[in-house]
Amino acid sequence: MRILLVKTSSLGDVIHNLPVVSDLRRCFPGVQIDWCVEEVFADIPRLHPGVDQIIPVAIRRWRRTLGRLATWRELAGFRRRLGESDYDAVLDTQGLLKSALIVSQAHGRRCGYAAEAAREPLAARFYDATFVIPRNVHAVQRNRWLAAAAFDYPVDLPLDYGIAAPPIDSGWCAGDRLVVLLTATSRDDKLWNEGHWCDLARALLDRGLTPVLPAGSPVERQRVERIAAVATGAVVAPPLSLPQIAALTARARLAIGVDTGLAHLAAALSVPTIALYVATEPALTGVYGSGFVRNLGRTGAPPSVAEVMTVAEQALR
């Protein structure tokens, strides 16, 4: 059996789809699983040994360069690659028009959410088989239930993200009492107060722990450098790729982050994880795992430093 999974973005959504691979492998030994994903997130399914081929797509980049001939050549090349294989099934767990259009270019039985269950109902028109999956359950469960319905296997399999972090040269960060602090997110309204991060970092240092602060953009790096400047002993991480961040996080005693895909990555790696919510609701898309995971705060009611430290101490025990 050969299956193509289509889950292109965002980072958290791609991570939420990893258990589908584990479920399929458990139920169909020997199955070949390919995955179509945005090029910037392709390193996530690569962490799962059950994924055979990654088919990167660049919708985000192509949208910005539609006037260039090179873009249309890339698009044609992507369509050719997608059409090269015959699949027994093509499963779209995204439920968007863009993902459904990708599914329509692949060869195989096309499966996805029914119109009343899809995030964009029009997507359902592109599937050969559709399934009604409740919308009021966590995204991880929705993905797994959709796959279970499409391939007729039980929905109560143990949760397994199935990923392992690669080795990393982390000579820049010694010790084994690390706490990864994920301060950055895609929207400014989801940021936790910078002063709170400073207080939290100092509280962790007082308990003999080493806060480690990854950063991507220049703005993010300036923020973590300001935090480290007032929390002597905190470590600002060098620029890291997604696999390197995974490897760093896997070493940590605890990960604390805002509403960001990297917090979901920590939970998927079975690292004790605390997610902080400021402008979004965690009920359906919060961190989710079989280990210690806690979602704190909600829209308009961010958690306090004291609340976070109370839960952090529970996790560390």
pTM for this model (two decimals): 0.96
Read off φ and ψ for residue 112, nearest 5 degrees.
Answer: -175, -170
Q: How far apart are CA 110 and CA 103, in angstroms?
A: 7
Residue 187 pLDDT > 90: yes
Residue 274 pLDDT > 80: yes
Look at strands 210-213 and 86-92 and give their pairing. unpaired
Q: Which percentage of the chain shows pLDDT scores above 70? A: 100
Per residue in 286-304, pLDDT (tens digit) is 999 999 999 999 999 999 9
Calculate the average pLDDT of the chain.
96
What does the pLDDT read at residue 264?
A: 98
Residue 201 pLDDT > 90: yes
Angle at which helices 218-230 and 194-206 cross, to 10°: 50
CATH T-level fold of 178-316? Rossmann fold (3.40.50)
Residue 311 pLDDT > 80: yes
Q: Where are the domains of the chain?
A: 2-151, 178-316
User: From the centroid of its chain, how far is CA 58?
Assistant: 17
Under 8 Å between Cβ of 316 and 294? no
Per residue in 10-55, pLDDT (tens digit) is 999 999 999 999 999 999 999 999 999 999 999 999 999 999 999 9
Task: Report DSSP letters for 157-199, one per residue.
Answer: PPP-----PPP---TTS--S-EEEEE---SSGGGPPPHHHHHH
CATH T-level fold of 2-151? Rossmann fold (3.40.50)
Q: How far apart are CA 22 and CA 15, in angstroms?
A: 12
Stretch 228-248: mean pLDDT, rounded? 96
What does the pLDDT read at residue 167?
A: 83
